[in-house]
Amino acid sequence: MVTIIQQRNKCIGCNYCVELAPERWRMSKKDGKSVLLGGVNKKGFWNVKVNEDELEVNVRAAEACPVNIIQVRGK
């Protein structure tokens, strides 16, 4: 399993994560920040566990994030 973690309150709405991994990310129309689809909020950190097949695209999304608020942890 892979865990994706997002510190959403620090998101600047650049949209890179949505472009690179659209099956896991969307932009919020309410506040212009990205939404980790399926994520659960734990004290400001949004977490979701996904299958290995989502690892590569979400690592690229994390690397592209200019404010480094996405972490991807494998296995």
**Span 19-29, pLDDT tens digits:** 999 999 999 99
Specify whether the CB–CB gap between 3 and 70 falls below 8 A: no
For the chain, which residues make up each domain, given as ranges? Answer: 2-74
2 backbone dihedrals φ, ψ, rounded to 5°: -120, 135
Q: Which residue type is seen at 42? A: K
CATH topology of domain 2-74: Alpha-Beta Plaits (3.30.70)
Question: Residue 33's pLDDT band (boundaries 50, 70, 90)?
Answer: very high
pLDDT of residue 20: 98
